Chain A
Amino acid sequence: MELKRGIPVSPGVAIATALVVETEGVRIQRRTVDKSLVATEIDHLRIALTKASADARENQNAISAKLGKQYGAIFAAHALLIDDPELVREIEQMIAQKNYSAEYAVSLVMRRHAKALESMNQPIFSTRSSDILDIEKSILKHLVGEQGDPLQNLQEPVVILAHDLTPSQTANLNPKMVYAFATEAGGKASHTAIMAGVLEIPAVVGLGRFLTQVSGGDEVIVDGNRGIVIVNPDPETRERYLVLQKQSVSFARRLDELRDLPAATKDGTRTLLMGNIEFPQEGPHCTDRGADGVGLYRTEFLYLNKTSEPDENEQYEAYLAVLRAMGPGKPVVIRTMDLGADKLFQVGDNHPHEKNPSLGVRSIRLCLRNLAMFKTQLRAILRASPFGDVRIMFPMVSTLMELRQCKMILADVKEELEEEGYAYNRKLPVGTMIEVPSAALMAEEMAKEVNFFSIGTNDLIQYTLAADRTNENVASLYNAGDPAVVRLIDRVIQAAFKHSIEVCVCGEMSGDPIYTMLLLGLGLRQLSMTPQNIPEIKKIIRSITIEEAKQVAQEAKRFETARDVNNYLREQTRRILPEVVVN
């Protein structure tokens, strides 16, 4: 059994036979042609370019229809790059002067450009080498013929393992046969990762070199919830994941059963289960599962892969898209930009190198230093507010001063909109995330300043235990069941109660079944999670009484180690609902 950790970019788990795809470029032999054939070779090139460009346009239309216009636009750029007069000139020159074959000239020129872009070392461009590979392949397809695309016409379910997948390969995957994919390269912001999320194919990227340890036909598990890939699992692990997978396969049925039932306990206590989303297209993922709203709408996608700041109208449209999908009366909590400075076009390059980015200028700290950008986002959110139950939330607030500053800027923006005659919800609920221990400790004071809290457990755990869970040497310290974390959460909930404000948990903890009873028992009535987890959590809630949950929480609070807390919670969860798989 071999376990690798990467970056989870699309949730879900799958276990299937591995299909290893060679995508590290098309291998083209160096070939020269006779001088008399140069003109013919150039003709071939031109025809291939025309066809490849037509393919890209066709892809643009197909993907636009399937996933939305902005994803189609990726292929419009491909077409523009293929039609490029400079590119044609460059390749033709190589054929004419060196008598290279058209395919060899194409591959040389593309490799040169890919290298040049990579060496530029700008995050905006470095994720783009897969786009160039995509273009190269589409041209070569018309010169040397299709090299038998292994991803099409799959006869049996597979897990795809590759160095990297191009955006068009991903967009055209068949989710019925491709249970999941995992790649060595890639990051959270790559086009490939974005497509996987929209298609709901579980995916893990950025695994680093591992393909040499796998052969086609090996059994592989991809856990897109935790960012784990397991090759040739041992029987116990295999069993565990088979049950998990079965659950997601029989998911459609369970979903229908549960969708229209309320998330209420046996004694009738109503809870709100909401979805965490990243892209406007994910709104339907929430409604399909009967979500009570969107508890966390991450807005980072608006800022990633951009050469410039997203303008107000672009943001406004993205917010409206989710409001439309959710319908009236369902809360949509929009979180302001939560990125590190290194990920941002504007400040990225002149930003001083940070030794410790997760403790540096990021998220709200970055927004408060880039007021023009921050205000643009606040304007867009406010302008969307009359069209639904919009709420605004500030991430990574660590002091009361920061929170007050945010509110002041929000007030400024409201005044601006007032003067310009825009409509907005004057009572727009304002919340803060509690994800830094200092904020959790100051929750009483914070509660006086806002309408709601949202506890971001992912960061809260990381900062409380000072452990990065992607670092395998300390990952075991990172634990939602740690008594220190449980006590902080308890404290935040009590502060919210005392000041009669709403409180929600929006970290991964809320989608993990073993913590459901604990969280309810501590007093939470709102949970926001990956939409795919909603049915399972709802099932647990509908199987317990509040009294039971309270007892579980009381008991869990008495333990002194994360291990004891987790063992106890696992046991209780199994007792309530034996068919739920607990990890």
Chain B
Amino acid sequence: MRPMQAFVETACRFACEVSVWVVDKQPVNGKSMWGLLGLGAEQGMKIVIETTGDGATEALKALAEIVERAYDKEPEPRA
């Protein structure tokens, strides 16, 4: 749950709107733990983060960093 917690806490620090998309689902509010939990996003899944409004660029950078840091280690291909 921890990376998600960090994601929401960071998103809430910015004034802009944050939405998160995955394939085949409605976008959810990136400032909402419930929303993100409901996405069922897991490692290896592609997600799109969209920010609009005040501080959108900075927010996007910070959020992308959290996602990358949490999931940067790709699972090794199985022999």
- B1 & A77 in contact (Cβ 8 Å cutoff): yes
A/B interface sample: 23 pairs, CB < 8 A:
A73-B2, A77-B5, A80-B5, A80-B8, A84-B31, A84-B34, A85-B29, A87-B34, A116-B38, A117-B37, A128-B1, A306-B2, A307-B1, A307-B3, A307-B42, A308-B70, A308-B71, A309-B73, A347-B75, A369-B78, A370-B78, A372-B73, A376-B73
Q: Counting CB contacts under 8 A, is A345 at the interface? A: yes
- 5 further A-B contacts with Cβ under 8 Å, apart from A81-B33, A113-B37, are A84-B35, A116-B38, A307-B70, A369-B78, A370-B75
- B74 & A372 in contact (Cβ 8 Å cutoff): yes
Of all chain B residues, which has the CB nearest A87?
A: B34
Of all chain A residues, which has the CB nearest B37?
A: A117
Chain B residue numbers with a CB within 8 Å of A120 are 40
Give A104-148 as 1s and 0s: 1 = Cβ < 8 Å from B's Cβ atoms. Answer: 000000000100110010101100100000000000000000000
List 8 tightest A-B contacts by C-beta distance, closest first: A86-B32, A371-B76, A372-B76, A346-B75, A369-B78, A308-B70, A84-B32, A81-B33
**Least CB distance, B35 to chain A, in whole angstroms:** 5
Of all chain A residues, which has the CB nearest B78?
A: A369
Chain A residue numbers with a CB within 8 Å of B29 are 85-86
Q: Counting CB contacts under 8 A, is A544 at the interface? A: no
Bound CA–CA A226/B31 (angstroms): 45
Chain B residue numbers with a CB within 8 Å of A122 are 40, 42
Contact of A346 among B3, B9, B40, B43 (CB under 8 A): B43
**Least CB distance, B36 to chain A, in whole angstroms:** 10
Q: Counting CB contacts under 8 A, is A212 at the interface? A: no
Q: Counting CB contacts under 8 A, is A400 at the interface? A: no
Q: Counting CB contacts under 8 A, is B60 at the interface? A: no
Q: Counting CB contacts under 8 A, is B49 at the interface? A: no
Of all chain B residues, which has the CB nearest A86?
A: B32
- A373 & B76 in contact (Cβ 8 Å cutoff): yes
- A86 & B42 in contact (Cβ 8 Å cutoff): no
Of all chain B residues, which has the CB nearest A109?
A: B34
Give A309-327 as 1s and 0s: 1 = Cβ < 8 Å from B's Cβ atoms. Answer: 1000000000000000000
* A contact residues, total (Cβ < 8 Å): 34
Bound CA–CA A326/B48 (angstroms): 47
Contact of A373 among B4, B37, B73 (CB under 8 A): B73
Chain B residue numbers with a CB within 8 Å of A370 are 75-76, 78
Within 246-273 of A, Cβ neighbours of B (below 8 Å) are at none
Chain B residue numbers with a CB within 8 Å of A345 are 42-43
Residue of B1, B8, B70, B71 most packed against chain A (CB within 10 A): B1
* B contact residues, total (Cβ < 8 Å): 28
Whether A372 touches B3, Cβ cut-off 8 Å, given contacts A85-B29, A86-B29, A125-B37, is no
Whether A308 touches B33, Cβ cut-off 8 Å, given contacts A77-B1, A373-B76, is no
**Least CB distance, B19 to chain A, in whole angstroms:** 11
Whether A84 touches B33, Cβ cut-off 8 Å, given contacts A307-B70, A308-B70, is yes
**Least CB distance, B28 to chain A, in whole angstroms:** 8
Bound CA–CA A258/B40 (angstroms): 52
Bound CA–CA A515/B61 (angstroms): 60
Q: Counting CB contacts under 8 A, is B79 at the interface? A: yes
Give A89-109 as 1s and 0s: 1 = Cβ < 8 Å from B's Cβ atoms. Answer: 010000000000000000000
Chain B residue numbers with a CB within 8 Å of A124 are 1
Bound CA–CA A309/B32 (angstroms): 23
Of all chain A residues, which has the CB nearest B40?
A: A120
Bound CA–CA A132/B31 (angstroms): 18
**Least CB distance, B20 to chain A, in whole angstroms:** 12
Give A69-81 as 1s and 0s: 1 = Cβ < 8 Å from B's Cβ atoms. Answer: 0000100110011
- A373 & B43 in contact (Cβ 8 Å cutoff): no
- A85 & B32 in contact (Cβ 8 Å cutoff): yes
Chain B residue numbers with a CB within 8 Å of A85 are 29, 31-32
- B44 & A350 in contact (Cβ 8 Å cutoff): yes
**Least CB distance, B59 to chain A, in whole angstroms:** 16
Within 1-22 of B, Cβ neighbours of A (below 8 Å) are at 1-5, 8-9
Of all chain B residues, which has the CB nearest A81?
A: B33
**Least CB distance, A191 to chain B, in whole angstroms:** 10
Q: Counting CB contacts under 8 A, is A560 at the interface? A: no
- B34 & A81 in contact (Cβ 8 Å cutoff): yes
- A307 & B33 in contact (Cβ 8 Å cutoff): no
- B37 & A77 in contact (Cβ 8 Å cutoff): no
- A349 & B42 in contact (Cβ 8 Å cutoff): yes
Chain A residue numbers with a CB within 8 Å of B31 are 84-86
Chain A residue numbers with a CB within 8 Å of B2 are 73, 306-307
Of all chain A residues, which has the CB nearest B5?
A: A77
Within 360-408 of A, Cβ neighbours of B (below 8 Å) are at 369-373, 376
Of all chain B residues, which has the CB nearest A314?
A: B2
Bound CA–CA A376/B76 (angstroms): 12
**Least CB distance, B77 to chain A, in whole angstroms:** 9
Bound CA–CA A371/B76 (angstroms): 6
- A80 & B43 in contact (Cβ 8 Å cutoff): no
**Least CB distance, A159 to chain B, in whole angstroms:** 31
Chain A residue numbers with a CB within 8 Å of B38 are 113, 116
Whether A80 touches B79, Cβ cut-off 8 Å, given contacts A73-B2, A307-B43, A349-B42, is no
**Least CB distance, B33 to chain A, in whole angstroms:** 5
